[in-house]
Chains A and B, each alone.
Chain A
Amino acid sequence: MPTEQTPVDVPELAFPAGLPGFEDLHRFALAHWGGPDSPYARLVSLERSDVAFLVAPPEAFFDDYDVEMRDDDAALLQLEDPADALVLVMITVGERADEATANLLGPLVVNTRAQLAAQIVPAEADPARGARVPLRAA
């Protein structure tokens, strides 16, 4: 699946399975963050105001990062048309810009049409991809 998208605003996004570590949270909003050229968006819980994450489309930082979804994940997200899929990776910020990392082990896949999302582990999960890969700014 190509990951050639940019963040979009989604006022309410359902995570039927929650997120690992935050399994009880199922409703989030996705909001673009930063200036017009910023690749980032904030993923904010609608149930707990203190829970928010930073996400970005992987193509803003990484070449050749394709996500091969398992069939059961595609079914959970009701994804029939790849054009509806938005792939995002979670960003962990550091104190300096060059300390920011991306979680390539567990990308988020959003069905923008059905407003459903999940953190998935791709079919060919490569542990070397890692959950904390330094962002390689272009």
Chain B
Amino acid sequence: MLVLTRRPEQRIVIGDDIVITVLEVKGDTVRLGIDAPRSVRVHREEVHEALRQANAAALLPEGEGALPPLPPGRPRR
């Protein structure tokens, strides 16, 4: 892991188009500003990990028509 020391208002540039700015350091929290292309998803790690796990769990078993019973949902309006 690359380790860098930065002060508030200093930045880190990743590749050509991702810039992370240290906005504020207060006690044990750091506020960061992140500029990245729209196609790069930026999430807090816990949210990203929750989505990864949920998507892995949602993967359907292979083969058509092999689904277990499902609730019917409401009638369409």
Measured CB to CB, the residues of A under 8 A from B are 4, 6, 16-17, 19-22, 33-34, 37-40, 42, 50-54, 56, 59-61, 72-73, 75-76, 90-98, 100, 103, 105-106, 119, 121, 125, 127, 131-132, 135, 137-138
> Hey, which chain A residues are within 8 Å of B15, CB to CB?
none
> Hey, which chain B residues are within 8 Å of A91, CB to CB?
58, 70
Assembled-state Cα–Cα distance A80/B43 (Å): 24
Which chain B residue has the least Cβ–Cβ distance from A34?
B70
Which of B1-9, B24-32, B33-41 has 4 or more CB atoms under 8 Å from chain A? B33-41
Count how many chain B residues have C-beta atoms less than 8 Å from C-beta atoms of the other chain: 30
B73 in contact with A100 (CB, 8 Å): no
B50 in contact with A105 (CB, 8 Å): yes
Given the contacts A20-B52, A21-B51, A75-B38, A61 and B71 also touching, CB distance less than 8 Å: yes
- Nearest CB on A from B18, distance (A): 13
- Nearest CB on B from A80, distance (A): 15
14 contacts between A and B (CB under 8 A): A16-B39, A17-B39, A21-B52, A40-B70, A51-B59, A53-B58, A53-B59, A92-B54, A103-B54, A105-B47, A106-B51, A121-B43, A131-B50, A135-B70
Q: Determine if B17 is an interface residue (Cβ-Cβ < 8 Å).
A: no
A96 in contact with B51 (CB, 8 Å): no
Measured CB to CB, the residues of B under 8 A from A are 38-41, 43, 47-48, 50-60, 62, 67-77
- Nearest CB on A from B43, distance (A): 6
A131 in contact with B74 (CB, 8 Å): no
> Hey, which chain B residues are within 8 Å of A60, CB to CB?
73-74
Given the contacts A17-B41, A38-B73, A39-B73, A131 and B51 also touching, CB distance less than 8 Å: yes
Q: Which of A42, A95, A138 contacts B60 (CB 8 A)?
A: A42
- Nearest CB on A from B24, distance (A): 21
- Nearest CB on A from B69, distance (A): 4
Assembled-state Cα–Cα distance A132/B56 (Å): 12
